[in-house]
Chain A
Amino acid sequence: MKGKAFKFGDSISTDHIIPGRFAHLRSNLPELAKHVLEDADPTFVTRVKAGDFIVAGNNFGLGSSREHAPLVIKMAGVSAILAKSVARIFFRNAINLGLPVLIFDTDGIGDGDELEIDLGAGTIKDLTSGRQFTSGRIPEVMLRILDEGGLIPYIQKYGDFKL
């Protein structure tokens, strides 16, 4: 995967990603997706292109269980989230939607850097700076869910959890 880094700081909450005030749009996903991360960076949605990456600090996605948060990020074209750490429910929700999450110290990546990611190997190459990073391991069960493109396709295929 190749794309551009959009950098965010620490503690980007689900209220930054898609605030409760847009709850009336939750059944109109294309409209909802137009507001993704609006309160953290109002220009993000107009600049992000298919394949780009969110690169965040600590505790990305803290707060609500709303799966709309990773969903609108995915709909905006983001192909993976890179962060120092990710809140528990958000992490699981992202994987369940087939959106990869890579955890490592993201300080070395600059805003706008071109990145190349090898998901299988867990390596992140910063083509702008020439630096390389390795992400922490995702639990096996999550990798298998990710492989099937998300939890619902996984359950459709196997009919049950296969550990």
Chain B
Amino acid sequence: MGKTLAEKILSEKSGSDARAGDIVIAKVDLVFIQDTTGPLTVRLFRSGGFKGLANPLRTVLFIDHAVPSPSLGLSNDHRLLREFAGETGASMSDIGEGVCHQLVGESMARPGDVVVGSDSHTVTAGGLGAFATGMGSSDVAVAMALGKTWFRVPESLKVTATGSFTKGVYAKDFILHLIGLIGADGATYKALEFGGDAVAAMSMSPRLTIANMAIEAGAKVGLFPSDRTTGDYLAAQGRGEDYRPIAPDPDADYEKTIKIDLKLLEPTVSRPHTVDNTALARDLKGTKIQQVFIGTCTNGRLDDLEIAAGILKGKQSNPGTRLIVGPASRQVMLEAMKAGYIQTLVAAGATILPPGCGPCLGLHQGILGDGEACLSTSNRNFQGRMGNPDAFVYLGSPATAAATALSGEITDPREVMPG
């Protein structure tokens, strides 16, 4: 019997014949923490009495969630991380560099790696064919010290995508649709493995968007095969040598297969307060929105800003709606400036944030007022997520976000897109 992608990678990294349901100890190739969960990791690492890092060059400390620091408590947490990097030789990614998952994709994760991060959206690197998963501070502290961790090898669900997106429909609509279909616990403890003609044709950014949200269905990982597209992406990032092809075996055993025809999808939105509470954007017309946020590890990449800029070019955002844009990384910001997208967005009324998480997790830079609603390109809309339990978060694609910013209410982007 052949192997799923998850079984393949965990077999290699555990030196065993790993099959769904087995418990294995796997080598960890890259481990990282960020500024909201990292300080507890550092404290647990210290209280555990660990001598040092198993692999300092592949241990990364990101300061991205609260940048620049909005408060004294967080400033001291940032200090702790910088000190820890100094003591242990871990790599530091400080303010202005961008969101951890974007940077892991741009310059760190390799196909076939096991990646462990103290952040649930670590799954993003599954877009590159890495077995990447989020863990808590204790697990990550131990992975930092020992260079390995234990896993229960997950059963895999296969998601086969065929056809191509129609105008105004994107990877975000696909993943929101999928989560609406299987539910927020539809893949709990499992691997989501994406395949099919449409996946083969998909560029890296949409793959990262989809893998990023695997956790919103409860999945341990969201895996894409590593193929020519992966190789081209890595080469463009100046690390062609990191490429190797990996694919599941054709006779791998999947718990079930879900088929999605992209051409049947329409712009989709998650309504408050759960990600699986999906609806079509056109059915939510009339829902007033006070803030639009375009950015995050889900949709803060160059193509996302390009789509938004395309819709907003030469226009003005609605006076009743604040438009906030946060590029996911320094590289994205530089490229978006070069391409003129940042200029277009600012001219249309956007406030630009530094690369980082921005208002995504509700600790600064755009906290919602009582009763206000935000249409965000991020990945989570739980009650209280954007800083106020009495506010409402809707999730959508950058196109839906830009169209909504223009009209001040949830808008199907096809209404405002030319031809």
Residues on A facing B (Cβ under 8 Å): 11, 13-16, 19-21, 23-28, 39, 58-59, 62-68, 70-71, 85, 87-89, 92-93, 96-97, 139-141, 150-152, 155-156, 160-161, 163
Contacts and interface: CB of A to CB of B under 8 A. Distances in A.
Contact of A97 (B25, B138, B150, B152): B138
Which 4 A-B pairs give the minimum distances between C-beta atoms?
Answer: A67-B136, A93-B136, A24-B73, A20-B361
B323 to A, nearest CB: 22
Given A67-B40, A87-B218, A139-B23, A92 B139 contact: yes
Interface stretch (B203-211, B341-349, B384-392): B384-392
> For the side of the interface on B, what is the size category?
35 or more
Contact of A67 (B117, B137, B189, B220): B137
A62 B363 CA distance: 19
B142 A19 contact: no
Given A59-B184, A87-B218, A163-B25, 14 more contacts: A23-B74, A27-B39, A27-B73, A27-B80, A63-B382, A65-B134, A67-B37, A87-B185, A92-B136, A92-B139, A97-B138, A139-B152, A155-B145, A163-B23
14 contacts: A16-B383, A16-B384, A20-B363, A21-B367, A25-B73, A39-B389, A66-B36, A66-B136, A67-B40, A67-B137, A70-B136, A88-B220, A89-B134, A151-B139
Contacts of B49: 156
B45 to A, nearest CB: 9
A67 B362 CA distance: 18
Given A27-B77, A156-B48, A66 B138 contact: no
Given A27-B76, A65-B37, A88 B389 contact: no
B142 A151 contact: yes
Nearest to B390: A39
Contact of B188 (A16, A28, A67, A87): A87
A21 B36 CA distance: 11
A68 B36 CA distance: 10
Contacts of A24: 70-74, 363
B106 interface: no
A161 B150 CA distance: 7
B153 to A, nearest CB: 12
A11 B184 CA distance: 9
A17 B333 CA distance: 34
A26 B218 contact: no
Contacts of A96: 136, 138-139
Contact of A62 (B142, B146, B184, B362): B184
Given A87-B218, A151-B138, A26 B39 contact: yes
Contacts of B367: 21
Interface in B55-86: 65-66, 70-74, 76-77, 80
Contacts of A20: 36, 361-363, 384-385, 387
B343 to A, nearest CB: 31
Given A16-B382, A23-B74, A152-B44, A65 B146 contact: no
A67 B136 CA distance: 5
A88 B48 contact: no
A2 B384 CA distance: 32
A13 B384 CA distance: 10
A88 B120 CA distance: 10
Nearest to A15: B382
A28 B43 CA distance: 12
B113 interface: no
A45 to B, nearest CB: 15
Contact of A89 (B73, B135, B184): B135
B301 interface: no
Contacts of A140: 23
A145 to B, nearest CB: 9
B412 interface: no
A65 B136 contact: yes
Interface string B208-242: 00000000001010000000000000000000000
A93 B362 CA distance: 22
Nearest to B72: A24
Contacts of B299: none
A152 B361 contact: no
B23 A26 contact: no
A8 to B, nearest CB: 13
Given A26-B73, A39-B384, A89-B136, A66 B389 contact: no
B118 A65 contact: yes
